[in-house]
Amino acid sequence: MIDFRYHLVSIISVFLALAVGIVLGAGPLQANLGDQLGEQVAALRTEKQALNDKLTTSQKLVDASDEYESAVQERVVRGRLTGHRALVLAMPSADTTMVGSLESVVGQSGAALTGTVSLSADWFDPTRADDRASAARDAAAALGLTSTATGDALLVEVLTDLAVSTTVSTISPKRIAALKVLLDANLVDSSVADLPPADVVLVVSGDYAGTESVVSQRSDAVRALLTALAGSSRATVVAGGETVAAAGQPATSDAVQAVREKSETASVISTVDHVRAGNGPAVAVLATEGALDERIGHYGISAGATAKLPRVLP
């Protein structure tokens, strides 16, 4: 049997171990541990400062590159779209800075800007389908458009007929009246009341988010509109910036990705995914020039890009 002396020895051993631990912890071990932690913290601070310095330098280089590209942009695009009529079409939530940049570069390229048309959020809102159908019927009647299409399909036909044409280049009272119907229905906004048709379309993309099903349906609607524009124009190019994932939403996309996802659209519509960058607007013009020569491409660094830049012709 285990007697009292064994218990006494065990208790004394425990207290001795505890005492030794306290002495060592308050003495040399504490100093060594403190020194090691201090050295690690100092090293991390130095590493963090080095990374911050590197990031600052990289940002300065990017800013300098953007400034240079903006400075030479006019020379790069000058005369490349001379003789063409260009429409800037802004999707819902499109960046207004990108819209303005494309409006400016259109003029620098030699093309005539027919106007800027901005689609409202109601254009794709499922709850406004009946209102869109009514506006489409009224606008088609004002335009004198005969079609068997109904609902959103008819609305796409109306906007396409108003926005683009490879033959018609003048305005008319019918066209003005049809555009007014869409304006009054709050489906579009236009920089001009009398919108002459363009033969080239620069579409400014905008992000949209929601469930996978919602985003998929929206992408289908975007592709339907862009396909119609591409079919009635000499060139249609979709330009956007980097897509930013919406907080709390399982899926986010934009018109650039919608085009690139399907071969049916990717084969007839060019895209540019970095128009916010310094060379972005110029790349959009070069992409348009290529599309006019039946060279369809997808430029940038996002998913689906086939090249960073279009081939620059003399």
Q: What is the DSSP string of the chain?
A: ---HHHHHHHHHHHHHHHHHHHHHHHTHHHHHHHHHHHHHHHHHHHHHHHHHHHHHHHHHHHHHHHHHHHHHHHHHHTTTTTT-EEEEEEPTT--HHHHHHHHHHHHHHT-EEEEEEEE-GGGT-GGGHHHHHHHHHHHHHHHT---S--HHHHHHHHHHHHHB-SS--S--HHHHHHHHHHHHTTSEEES-SS-PPBSEEEEEP--EEE-HHHHHHHHHHHHHHHHHHHHHSSEEEEE-----PPTT-SEEE-HHHHHHH-HHHHTT-EEES-TTSTTHHHHHHHHHHHHHTT---EESSSTT-SBSSPPPP-
Strand partners, 201: 87, 236
Q: What number is the average pLDDT over the span 119-138? A: 97
pLDDT of residue 50: 73
Strand partners, 115: 87
CA-to-CA dists, residue 181 to 28, 126, 147, 242, 257, angstroms:
85, 20, 17, 34, 31
pLDDT of residue 65: 45
pTM of the model: 0.79
Tokens describing residue 261: 């996802």
pLDDT, tens only, 233-267: 999 999 999 888 888 899 999 999 999 999 999 99
Q: Report the distance separating Cα 158 and Cα 35, nearest Å.
A: 76
Q: Are the CB atoms for 84 and 291 separated by under 8 Å?
A: no
Q: Are the CB atoms for 271 and 260 separated by under 8 Å?
A: yes
Q: Are the CB atoms for 198 and 233 separated by under 8 Å?
A: yes
CA-to-CA dists, residue 230 to 196, 225, 285, angstroms:
17, 9, 16
Q: What number is the average pLDDT over the span 158-166? A: 96
pLDDT, tens only, 173-223: 999 999 999 999 999 999 999 999 999 999 999 999 999 999 999 999 999
Sequence-separated (6 or more) residues with CB below 8 Å from residue 127: none
pLDDT tier at 61, thresholds 50, 70, 90:
very low
Burial of 263 (0-12, 13-18, 19+ CB in 10 A): exposed
Q: Is the pLDDT of residue 271 over 80?
A: yes
CA-to-CA dists, residue 75 to 98, 201, 239, 283, 313, angstroms:
20, 22, 21, 13, 13
